[in-house]
Chains A and B, each alone.
Chain A
């Protein structure tokens, strides 16, 4: 049930996306494609150092990748990094469905 999801990866992804600003940044990147830190700063409405910090966390979770071009750093989303989260949802979805079925069977047996 929980074994095929690597805890470390899942934790990084969940933690990275736990913050609403980071979720917004990540979704903006999935929507708009590659963006510079400047553009993301304008979008997020927080300071550039704050945006850079958020991007570092997203990078650690492998949710974004970056490349430098001149003085600008460009970021782009890696939606495939969401796999641990999706796996988690699917695994536990199946797990709970199974438990609900077993609960139903038990209730039938109970007085």
Chain B
């Protein structure tokens, strides 16, 4: 996950916020602020820190997201694992936040990769990229909107 360009990117959301990076970084990394827009949490911005997001339980989901902090580059990059449903049969993603100063504010990019981190080495050199695959899927499934686009 050190080089996003080599990772299989499955979901990307981007937006420019009319606020400085310092403010975005606080919203992303201060637990009480994070709770106001994400979910209740015991996050701390330290690599290796295990924490949870907690929402109201639902059918088929206990409301818990198990996370571990992977990258903390103040004002620039923040990344954590995103695990749902326990480690055995559950789903494991990696979330990467990237902040870039932009005209009149900060460009925020959220990238969620759909794979366990230990599998990623194998795809680094993949000739057959996900972008191409998803582009192909849309064609195959007849204009199906498989990409989520940021607002």
Q: A residues touching B (Cβ–Cβ < 8 Å)?
A: 1-4, 6-8, 10-11, 14, 17-21, 23-24, 27, 30-31, 79, 82, 85-86, 88-90, 92-94, 96-97, 99-107, 110
Contact = CB atoms under 8 A, between A and B. Distances in A.
Contacts, number: 113
> Which of A90, A92, A103 gathers the greatest number of chain B CB atoms within 10 Å?
A103
Given A7-B91, A82-B141, A89 B148 contact: yes
The size class of the interface chain B forms with chain A is 35 or more
B91 A11 contact: yes
Given A2-B61, A3-B60, A27-B136, A107 B27 contact: yes
A104 B36 CA distance: 11
Interface in B128-151: 128, 133, 136-137, 140-141, 144-151
**Main secondary structure on A side of the interface with B:** helix
A17 B136 CA distance: 13
Interface of B: 8, 10-11, 13, 15, 17, 19, 23-24, 26-27, 33, 36-38, 55, 58-61, 84-85, 89-91, 108, 110, 112, 114-115, 119, 122-123, 126-128, 133, 136-137, 140-141, 144-151
Contacts of A93: 11, 13, 147-149
Contacts of A90: 145, 148
